[in-house]
């Protein structure tokens, strides 16, 4: 590992050797520069970025990663050079200009020294005329303007304006776009006017080692979480932000109504942080639902949490892909998700009855939950087969597809 401070950028490629005081190339490969917020396993975009970096170094390619946070194990690899960017107060709004500037500086230095250097950025985080791997389209989502306090709405409005301005610049500048779903591809064409011939869809990889939950694993997970070993359990995994993009407000209301019936014996476990967490905790307490809706906050142990679950619910209003849903399915867990989410493109007719056509409809979500509850064994069997199909395409397959695509176009 090399950590660059910004004053000097090392470009010696992996595979070179030193003879007589000089560096002699030996199967020298041009480096790749990856500019992203994070390269770690605690988030959808970050996990995908990590997978691409890991694939590149596995094949011997020197990689420069520019971002706020980098997986410790990845950072120790001798083929990786880490360009750490400060994120003031943990703010995306304040950190983004710094990430953009540092990414450009690293890309400019390396491409000047080796024109074959590949540069991959994420969306509007760095405006560079190379490859743009799109995980999210800001022009495709309009948050509700009346949610949250005034200061929050002002901040969100500024952040959204900056992001959309950056997206427009990226749309004009980037040469090749990689989307994470057909949904994202359509959004790029319809909202930013990008030429369809410039866009290629590469789905996010699955957790190939995340098999179906065993009875022993489920029991152990419930014990560790302090859950009833017998009661049915649904989970929600996602941000609890005041913009309600993940649709937890719809799920909360549906759950509150279902709990009025003695026939509804399912509890809800919520894993996710965000500025809406205190609001929903207070709302659950006021409604007397603290025992039926348990909020954990942020969790790094999603695999173990899913082991306790009988279903996952994700009534998102905008979701370019939906890695949380894919992870649940890989564990054989029936998953209710909005049809507008990118991951819904993988749902076949045998499981599509659990898709939501309207994430704002509390009534429709209740219907889907009752449909699942009425025949849990049926849906579990179908999603176990679905998960087996998804696990056939892993993170390495995704990364290989991206690298092949990029090298074929540059």
For residue 10, the enclosing domain spans 2-14+27-205+394-409
Residues 137 and 31 in one domain: yes
Q: Is 377 helix (H, G, I), strand (E, B) or coil?
A: helix
Secondary structure tally for the chain: helices H, strands E: 13, 18
State the Cα–Cα distance between residues 171 and 121, nearest whole angstrom: 12
Residue 20 lies in a domain: no
Residues 54 and 107 in one domain: yes
State the Cα–Cα distance between residues 17 and 12, nearest whole angstrom: 10
For residues 94-98, give the mean pLDDT. 94
Strands 176-179 and 233-237: unpaired
Residues 275 and 360 in one domain: yes
Residue 356 lies in a domain: yes
Residue 210 lies in a domain: no
For residues 15-26, give the mean pLDDT. 34
In the beta sheet, which residues pair with residue 338? 356
> In this predicted structure, what is the pLDDT of residue 7?
44
CATH number at residue 194: 3.40.50.2000
Residues 245 and 183 in one domain: no
Residues 173 and 286 in one domain: no
Residue 21 lies in a domain: no
Residues 221 and 79 in one domain: no
Residue 22 lies in a domain: no
Residues 311 and 237 in one domain: yes
Residues 231 and 372 in one domain: yes
Residues 97 and 113 in one domain: yes
pLDDT in tens, 191-243: 999 999 999 999 999 999 999 999 999 999 999 999 999 999 999 999 998 88
Residue 19 lies in a domain: no
Q: What is the tally of structural domains in the chain?
A: 2
Residue 129 lies in a domain: yes
pLDDT in tens, 37-92: 999 988 789 999 999 999 999 999 999 999 999 999 999 999 999 999 999 988 88
State the Cα–Cα distance between residues 315 and 365, nearest whole angstrom: 8
Tokens of 326: 């894919």
Residues 285 and 299 in one domain: yes
Residues 62 and 191 in one domain: yes
For residues 386-406, give the mean pLDDT. 97
Which residues, at least 6 apart from 60, have a Cβ–Cβ distance to it below 8 Å? 14, 15, 27, 29, 79
Residue 52 lies in a domain: yes
Q: Is 67 helix (H, G, I), strand (E, B) or coil?
A: strand
Residues 181 and 235 in one domain: no
């Amino acid at each position: 590992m090399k950590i660059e401070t910004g004053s000097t950028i090392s470009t010696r490629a992996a595979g070179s050797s030193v003879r007589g005081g000089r560096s002699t190339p030996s199967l020298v490969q041009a480096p790749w520069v990856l500019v992203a917020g994070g390269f770690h396993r605690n988030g959808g975009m970050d996990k995908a970025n990590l997978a691409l970096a890991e694939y590149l170094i596995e094949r011997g390619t020197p990689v420069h990663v520019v971002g706020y946070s980098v997986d410790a194990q990845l950072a120790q690899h001798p083929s990786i050079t880490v360009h750490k960017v400060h994120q003031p107060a943990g703010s995306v709004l304040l950190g983004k200009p710094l990430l953009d500037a540092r990414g450009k500086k690293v890309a400019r230095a390396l491409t000047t020294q080796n024109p074959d250097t590949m540069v991959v950025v994420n969306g509007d985080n760095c405006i560079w005329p190379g490859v743009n791997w799109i995980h999210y389209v800001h022009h495709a989502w309009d948050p509700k303007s009346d949610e949250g306090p005034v200061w929050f709405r002002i901040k969100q409005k500024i952040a959204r304006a900056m992001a959309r301005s950056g997206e427009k610049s990226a749309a004009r500048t980037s040469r090749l776009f990689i989307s994470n779903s057909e949904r994202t591809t359509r959004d790029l064409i319809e909202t930013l006017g990008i030429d369809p011939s410039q866009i290629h869809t590469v789905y996010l990889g699955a957790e190939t080692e995340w098999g179906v939950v065993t009875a022993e694993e489920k029991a152990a997970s419930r014990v560790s979480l302090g859950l009833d070993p017998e009661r049915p359990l649904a989970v929600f995994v996602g941000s609890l932000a005041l913009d309600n993009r993940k649709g937890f407000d719809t799920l909360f209301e549906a759950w509150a109504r279902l709990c009025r019936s003695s026939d509804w014996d399912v509890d809800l476990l919520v894993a996710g942080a965000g500025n809406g967490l205190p609001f929903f905790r207070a709302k659950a307490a006021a409604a007397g639902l603290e025992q039926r809706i348990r909020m954990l906050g942020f969790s790094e142990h999603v695999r173990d949490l899913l082991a306790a679950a009988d279903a996952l619910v994700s009534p998102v209003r905008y979701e370019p892909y939906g890695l949380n849903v894919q992870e649940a399915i890989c564990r054989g867990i029936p998953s209710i998700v909005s049809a507008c989410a990118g991951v819904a493109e993988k749902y076949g007719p045998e499981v599509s009855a659990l898709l939501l056509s309207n994430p704002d409809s509390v009534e429709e979500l209740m219907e889907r939950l009752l449909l699942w509850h009425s025949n849990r064994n049926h849906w579990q069997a179908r999603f176990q087969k679905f998960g087996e199909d998804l696990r056939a395409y892993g993170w390495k397959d995704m990364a290989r597809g991206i690298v092949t695509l990029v090298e074929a176009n540059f």
